[in-house]
Chains A and B, each alone.
Chain A
Amino acid sequence: MTQALEGFLQALSAGLLIGAVYGLMCVGLGLIFGVMRVINFAQGDFMMLGMYAAFYFFTALGVQATFGNTFGPFVAIVLAGPVLAAFGYFVHLTLISRVSGTRTSSLEGEGHYAQLILTLGIALILQNGGLLVFGSVLASIRTPLSSSAWELGPMFNDISVFVNKARGIDAVVSLVTMLLLTLLITRSRLGKSLRAAADNPTAATYMGIDVDRAHRIAFALGTGITAIAGGLLATNYPFHPFVGVEYVIVMYAGVVLGGMGSIIGAFWGGMTIGLVQQMSTLILPTQLQNAAIFVVFLLIIFFRPQGFFGRMVERT
């Protein structure tokens, strides 16, 4: 009994920590989908680039030498965010803007077909380009914290829960990033104009908001956010140029769970997936982790098709 409870608490804490990072990862995609209505298949590969950016910041660009082994990785991860945001800005400027935003009103299906093909193409180029540049060897951003833990307890009945230190800091970085993003979106003029552009691009134009610019900023922000989440995951999981494919499915599941178009919803969607993934190991073999995610996903969507925070109908 005690052992079962201990296992449960252990899985719960692991789920919350990994869920916080998954949540951030989903928010990056949710921001792009929510503001622009663009289905971005390359989001996982943007994340892969974020992982490598953090990796090279840490190993080759002096972050390790300046900040040391323990906290250097986290500095490198946070630095990778703006770099990937700039990359996202550029990708939108040169490619995505051709098939999205105000240009698409004249295209069939509002440009969605072109967007699917384009982002899928970008994904393939990044994956194979990554293989060419980074090689196929597994990389990882290890810190000594990755293999040490805090012990919570012993609590009642001598139960102790161990929290991996790297994952603990990952979760904190993720929550702080999420908090800053939420403040930006809800409080600042820029954030409000992004939401206005998402609600009604035509009316936003009437207000004097440059909708294409709003989309570019959302795309850059979303790319940077997902890149940071990727770097955080890389402190515990090794990665390779094709790692994006594994995560992009989780990202979409999280965004749909949270409710398409809701940014805070995407966070809770990602959190749910993290929890289900870790808790499922209590009763299922580890290989079925991802199967469990999608069983729960289907169950939730069956009972609440609009997701946690989605709106079924909207008065206009």
Chain B
Amino acid sequence: MLRIEGLTAGYSAIPVLNGVSIKVEQGQFVAIVGPNGAGKTTLFKTISGIVRPSAGTITFGDHDLRSIRPAQRAHLGIAHVPEGRQVFPSLTVMENLEMGAMTEAGQRDWKHNIERIFAWLPILAERRGQFAGTLSGGQQQMLAIGRGLAGSPKLLMLDEPSMGLAPAIADFIFERLIEIRRQSNLTILLVEQRVAEALESADHGYVLEAGRVALEGNNQTLRADDRIRKAYLGM
């Protein structure tokens, strides 16, 4: 579904990503882990078109993403739940969700989607009239996820949903994500620093270090890998 090959991208002249290749198949849950500054967020921004690649290819379905304008990519079915939540603070919870449903599919499935989102994340139904800027961090993260789901995406990209949250709340959001995945069979690409949790629930994982894929493999091989156990899992 999403195929990235030899991707090099960055800001000004210095590349942050250096020949990264990543593949996400339909229905898969893929996790990308790695330390701060490895280029995880830049990778997402390149997929969404905010950062321009200097080399390599990104294809989504049959589309060569490099020739598609950033605002059009959401309409192809890519939902980006950005790092640091980035909800629209002066819009209400409901209006934020409506913004997530700007795509044609989102318009079509609005009723169905909003029901499912409210069932998965009931706090959003409770706070629907409240300005998003007044929500707590965890609630904003749930809103950001709900906003991503509202567009009926084919691919949901989650950039560090646990960032800046208390561990208990981060755990809760992880549980919700797994439940959402189980019920919807959505294809998910997750970037996460909570390596243990991310690798535990993902089908396939990549370790990104200093702009390169240092390691990849399925759930078992990665968790059994000595380097991973030492560097990330503290074992």
Q: Mark A254-296, 1 if CB is under 8 A from B, else 0.
A: 0000000000000000000000000000000000000000000
Q: Determine if B91 and A205 form an interchain contact, defined as CB atoms under 8 angstroms apart.
A: no
Within 8 A of A (CB), among B40-89: 48-50, 69-75, 79-80, 82, 84-89
Report chain A residues within 8 Å CB of B39: none
Name the distance in Å between B91's Cβ and chain A's nearest Cβ: 6
Report chain B residues within 8 Å CB of A208: 71-75, 102-103, 151
Taking a contact as CB atoms closer than 8 A, the residue among A192, A198, A199, A210 that contacts B71 in the complex is A210
Within 8 A of B (CB), among A164-212: 189, 192-193, 195-196, 198-200, 202-211
Within 8 A of A (CB), among B98-130: 98-100, 102-103
Q: Determine if B71 and A211 form an interchain contact, defined as CB atoms under 8 angstroms apart.
A: yes
Q: A192-B98, A193-B102, A315-B133 are in contact. Are A206 and B48 (CB under 8 A)?
A: yes
Report chain A residues within 8 Å CB of B212: none
Report chain B residues within 8 Å CB of A316: 84-86, 89, 133
Report chain B residues within 8 Å CB of A211: 71
Report chain A residues within 8 Å CB of B26: none
Tally of A-B Cβ pairs under 8 angstroms: 79
Name the distance in Å between A91's Cβ and chain B's nearest Cβ: 22
Q: Mark A50-72, 1 if CB is under 8 A from B, else 0.
A: 00000000000000000000000
Number of chain A residues close to chain B: CB under 8 A: 22
Report chain A residues within 8 Å CB of B48: 205-206
Q: Determine if B70 and A205 form an interchain contact, defined as CB atoms under 8 angstroms apart.
A: yes
B136: nearest residue on chain A (CB-CB)? A315
Q: Determine if B50 and A202 form an interchain contact, defined as CB atoms under 8 angstroms apart.
A: yes
Interface of A is mostly: helix
Q: Determine if B147 and A199 form an interchain contact, defined as CB atoms under 8 angstroms apart.
A: no
Q: Mark B159-191, 1 if CB is under 8 A from A, else 0.
A: 000000000000000000000000000000000
Q: Determine if A206 and B133 form an interchain contact, defined as CB atoms under 8 angstroms apart.
A: no
Chain A CB within 8 A of B216 CB? no
Q: A316-B85, A316-B86, A316-B89 are in contact. Are A205 and B49 (CB under 8 A)?
A: yes
The winner among B49, B72, B88, B140 for most chain A CB atoms within 10 A is B88
Report chain A residues within 8 Å CB of B73: 208
Q: Determine if B91 and A206 form an interchain contact, defined as CB atoms under 8 angstroms apart.
A: no
Q: Determine if B50 and A205 form an interchain contact, defined as CB atoms under 8 angstroms apart.
A: yes
Q: Determine if A205 and B71 form an interchain contact, defined as CB atoms under 8 angstroms apart.
A: yes
Number of chain B residues close to chain A: CB under 8 A: 33
Report chain B residues within 8 Å CB of A203: 82, 86-88
Please report the C-alpha to C-alpha distance between residue A315 and residue B79 in the assembled complex, in whole angstroms.
23
Report chain B residues within 8 Å CB of A315: 89, 133-135, 140
Report chain A residues within 8 Å CB of B84: 316
Report chain A residues within 8 Å CB of B71: 205, 208-211
Chain B CB within 8 A of A108 CB? no
Please report the C-alpha to C-alpha distance between residue A71 and residue B88 in the assembled complex, in whole angstroms.
43
Name the distance in Å between B84's Cβ and chain A's nearest Cβ: 7
Chain B CB within 8 A of A246 CB? no
Taking a contact as CB atoms closer than 8 A, the residue among B82, B90, B95 that contacts A206 in the complex is B82
Please report the C-alpha to C-alpha distance between residue A195 and residue B96 in the assembled complex, in whole angstroms.
10
Q: Determine if A314 and B133 form an interchain contact, defined as CB atoms under 8 angstroms apart.
A: yes
Q: A211-B71, A314-B89 are in contact. Are A196 and B50 (CB under 8 A)?
A: no
Name the distance in Å between B71's Cβ and chain A's nearest Cβ: 4
Taking a contact as CB atoms closer than 8 A, the residue among A199, A202, A314 that contacts B82 in the complex is A202
Please report the C-alpha to C-alpha distance between residue A193 and residue B101 in the assembled complex, in whole angstroms.
11
Known: A196-B95, A206-B82, A210-B69. 17 other contacts (CB 8 A): A102-B70, A193-B102, A195-B91, A195-B95, A196-B88, A199-B88, A203-B88, A206-B80, A207-B74, A207-B99, A207-B100, A207-B147, A208-B71, A208-B103, A209-B99, A315-B133, A316-B86
Closest 6 CB pairs of A and B: A208-B74, A199-B88, A203-B86, A206-B80, A210-B71, A208-B102
List 29 A-B residue pairs with CB atoms under 8 Å apart, sorted by A's residue number. Answer: A192-B91, A195-B91, A195-B95, A196-B88, A199-B88, A199-B90, A202-B86, A203-B82, A204-B88, A204-B99, A205-B49, A205-B50, A205-B70, A206-B48, A206-B80, A206-B82, A206-B86, A207-B99, A207-B151, A208-B73, A209-B71, A210-B71, A211-B71, A314-B89, A314-B133, A315-B89, A315-B135, A315-B140, A316-B133
